[in-house]
Amino acid sequence: MNDKRKKPSACEFARRKARGAKIPSLSLYDTPTAKIAASCGIDLLLVGDSLGMTVLGLKNTIPVKIEDVMRHSSAVRRGAPEAFVVADMPFMSYQTCPADAMRNAARFMQEADCDGVKIEGGVQMAETISRLVSAGVPVMAHIGLLPQRILTGCGYRKIGKNKEEERELLSDAKAVEKAGAFCVVLECVEDKVAEKITKSLRIPTIGIGSGDACDGQIQVAHDVLGLLPDFTPKHARRYANLAEEIQRAFTSYASDVIKG
Ligand code: KIV
């Protein structure tokens, strides 16, 4: 563990890519987990709207509200003052118009002390990204599978399987880079396409279910830790089985209490 690190700037991640250093990142939601992650050298932390499913028991990310992500972003900030903390802007907090995106991003920066925001979408979101970046908000872009569009999309599946999807992904990637995003999440993008995108961009690609050619990887902490026994996405690699550990501990505790 190493807890005396300097907080990276948004530009630092492109420098890491330029020197070939891979970028590990986690999506997490609370103070103690953020503190442990940062002390392990993971300094790009996302407060994902996946918190709807992992923490709040919701069925997808659509019902997640600004106040939910705000509350958890403040918690992560307190746990990891030395990390670059990104708030995932929830459904309809930025899609309505760039002015709403600016107003809501300002709340994440000013009230939750975040270092940047993440928004889903490529070409269609380029103008919003550009406005945010010009105003001083570092933006993590997100293309490929877009969970906030799950109800109008084709479900949870790999994107980039045919030439048309590949072309769209490449233009989305180019558009968010041009708009000034400091990195781009590639979610469930075909490995070969993710590799092409990674090679064609100066900013780092942070993959989830998109193969190992990406410049970095992001995983949901609950998946990595094995905290959700009833749900493990295909792309998640478990490094622990905390659900079992917790069950063992709670069972011993209950039995001690019952025995008096
Ligand atoms: O909500 C989230 O946690 C995310 C990451 C998995 C990229 O969007």
The pick from 23, 26, 27, 210 for probing ligand 1's pocket by mutation, whose C-beta has the most ligand atoms within 8 angstroms, reads 27
3-state SS assignment for residue 117: strand
Is residue 2 predicted with pLDDT exceeding 60?
no
164: CA distance to ligand 1 center in Å? 25
10-259 CATH, one of 3.20.20.60, 3.30.460.80, 3.40.50.970, 2.70.150.10 = 3.20.20.60
Alpha carbon separation from 3 to 18, 39, 116 (Å, rounded): 25, 5, 22
Give me the pLDDT at residue 4, please.
62
* Residue nearest atom 3 in ligand 1 by C-alpha distance: 48
Å from CA of 68 to ligand 1 middle: 15
Mutate to test the pocket of ligand 1, among 62, 208, 234 (most ligand atoms within 8 A of CB): 208
- Is the sign of the CA dihedral 52, 140, 151, 26 positive or negative? negative
Q: What is the pLDDT of residues 109-137, one digit of tens each?
A: 999 999 999 999 999 999 999 999 999 99
**Which among 197, 205, 128, 137 is positioned nearest to 168, based on CA atoms?**
197
Q: What percent of the chain has pLDDT over 90?
A: 92
Residue 128 half-sphere exposure, CB side, CA atoms within 13 Å? 26
pTM beyond 0.85: the answer is yes
> What pLDDT was estimated at residue 232?
74
- Read off φ and ψ for residue 122, nearest 5 degrees: -105, -110
Atom of ligand 1 nearest to the CA of 61: 1
What is the number of the ligand 1 atom nearest to the C-alpha of 46?
Answer: 3
pLDDT recorded at residue 3? 47
Q: Which residues pair with 257 in a beta bridge?
A: none
Cα 19 to middle of ligand 1, angstroms: 26
Q: Would you state the pLDDT for residue 216? A: 98
Q: Which residues line ligand 1 (CB under 6 A)?
A: 27, 46, 48-50, 88, 185, 187, 208, 218, 220
Q: How much of the chain, in percent, has pLDDT values that exceed 70?
A: 98
Exposure string over 114-135, b if 16+ CB within 10 A, otherwise e: bbbbbbbbbbebbebbbbbbee
CA distances from 231 to 53, 151, 152, 157 (A): 10, 20, 23, 16
Q: How long is the chain?
A: 260
* Atom of ligand 1 lying closest to residue 118 CA: 8
Averaged pLDDT, 22-34: 98
User: pLDDT (tens digit, 9 = 90+) per residue, 187-205?
Assistant: 999 999 999 999 999 999 9
Residue 208 CA to ligand 1 center (angstroms) comes to 9
Closest C-alpha to ligand 1, atom 4: 48
User: Which residues does 58 contact at the CB level (< 8 Å), separation at least 6?
Assistant: 52, 64
Q: How far apart are CA 21 and CA 200, in angstroms?
A: 17
* Model pLDDT for residues 54-97, shown as the tens digit of each residue: 999 999 999 999 999 999 999 999 999 999 999 999 999 999 99
Residue nearest ligand 1's atom 2 by CA: 48
For the four alpha carbons of 50, 103, 43 and 192, in that order, the dihedral sign comes to positive
The residues carrying an active-site annotation are: 187
User: Which residues are CB-contacts of 83 (< 8 A; sequence separation ≥ 6)?
Assistant: 7, 34, 37, 38, 42, 43, 44, 45, 76
Rounded mean pLDDT, 130-150: 97
Beta bridge partners of 121: 142
Query: In this structure, which residue's CA is closest to atom 1 in ligand 1?
Result: 48
The reported pLDDT for the residue numbered 231 is: 74
The conformational region for residue 180 under phi > 0 = left, psi -120 to 50 = alpha, else beta, is: left
Pick the atom of ligand 1 nearest to 49's CA: 1
What's the pLDDT tens digit per position in 208-244? 999 999 999 999 999 999 999 887 777 888 999 999 9
Q: Is the pLDDT of residue 42 over 90?
A: yes
